[in-house]
A and B are shown apart, each in its own frame.
Chain A
Amino acid sequence: MRVGVVTFPGTLDDRDAARAVRAGGSEAVELWHGDADLKNVDAVILPGGFSYGDYLRCGAISRFAPVMTLIIEQANKGMPLLGICNGFQVLCESHLLPGALTRNSDLHFLCKDQVISIENTSTPWTSSFTQSQEILIPLKNGEGSFQCDDATLASLEGEGRIIARYVGENPNGSRNLVAGITNTRGNVVGLMPHPEHAIDTLTGPSADGLGFFTSILNAMVQ
């Protein structure tokens, strides 16, 4: 199973995402932002970082990359797509996901080990988890506050498209403690915290994050 990991200029967590993909049992394939070539991958991850230095708005420039044209096309046909942190921001800017990520409400960059609960286990990225399972993974960003209008929030809640929620105190001002969402079809997932940094207890606060990467293997094997 081949999972593509995209590198934009300024992407930081691509190698970590690739490591997590391999740890989850799939093959990690490097995808370059400037190449309109998905190399026959079965799924794609947009990793974390500061693509284009967060110029203009986070993810605002990356969304126009040549590789994104193909990714959007394939995502609209059902290809599993996961955006982590900056990747989530790119997905929102591309309108593959609704809403937007804005500046943390206390204006500081925040790196902390965050408990989130998985609230939708029917996506190809979350099927390894059980409903309402709480996991501990790192949250590290300056613009992680999920915002959307009331109508959008109502449909996200009503349709069960909030895939993860912060547990405890709201770390960044996100509406309804939203940590991750999915699209109507359920193949595109955006997640603010970083599961790729919680794949073992040697380097992370837990191994809970591995579930995202084993889920995708199972999803594709089916």
Chain B
Amino acid sequence: MAKIVVDVMLKPEILDPQGNAVASALPRLGFNFATSVRQGKRFEIEVAGEPTPAQLAEVEKAAEVLLSNPVIENYVVRVEK
């Protein structure tokens, strides 16, 4: 069953202290691959059946108005199998 996924991330210019904390913690544990880490949110929305274009448009609206705060966040809507 497919689901609609909304990924929400802080805008690049907004300070992300949680991402920074993760980035600092990684090398302490021996992981040295990261040059930067940003932390966001992921919403998984189930609908009955396959998502329609109309539904996706509605999810976009919901993302704009509720799931994200456009002042400080960006979002991406997609369908995942």
Question: Which residues of A line the B interface, CB within 8 A?
Answer: 56-57, 60, 64, 92-93, 98-100, 102-107, 145, 147-149, 173
Q: Are B66 and A102 in contact (CB under 8 A)?
A: no
Q: Does B21 contact A (CB under 8 A)?
A: yes
Q: Is the CB of A102 within 8 A of B21?
A: no
Which chain A residues border B69 with CB–CB below 8 Å?
57, 60, 93, 100
A147-B15 CB under 8 A given contacts A56-B66, A99-B71: yes
Interface of A is mostly: loop
Are the C-beta atoms of B71 and A100 separated by less than 8 Å? yes
**Docked pose: A107 CA to B17 CA in angstroms:** 7
Closest to A58 in B: B69
* Minimum distance in angstroms from A169 CB to a CB of chain B: 16
Inter-subunit contact B72/A100 (CB<8 Å): yes
B10 to chain A, nearest CB (A): 8
B18: chain A residues within 8 A (beta carbon): 103, 107
* With contact pairs A56-B66, A60-B66 given, residues A105 and B71 touching in the complex (Cβ less than 8 Å): no
Minimum CB–CB distance from B18 to chain A (whole Å) comes to 6
Nearest 9 CB-CB pairs, A to B?
A100-B71, A100-B72, A105-B17, A107-B17, A103-B17, A147-B14, A100-B69, A57-B69, A147-B72
In whole Å, how far is A37's beta carbon from the nearest beta carbon of chain B? 24
Q: List 14 A-B contacts (CB under 8 A).
A: A57-B69, A60-B66, A60-B69, A64-B66, A93-B69, A100-B71, A100-B72, A102-B72, A105-B15, A107-B17, A147-B15, A147-B72, A149-B13, A173-B17
**Residues in chain A near residue B17, CB distance under 8 A:** 103-107, 173
CB distance from B64 to the nearest CB of A (A): 12
Nearest to B67 among chain A residues (CB) is: A56
Proximity string of chain B (5-44) to chain A, C-beta cutoff 8 Å, 1 when within and 0 when not: 0000010011101100100000000000000000000000
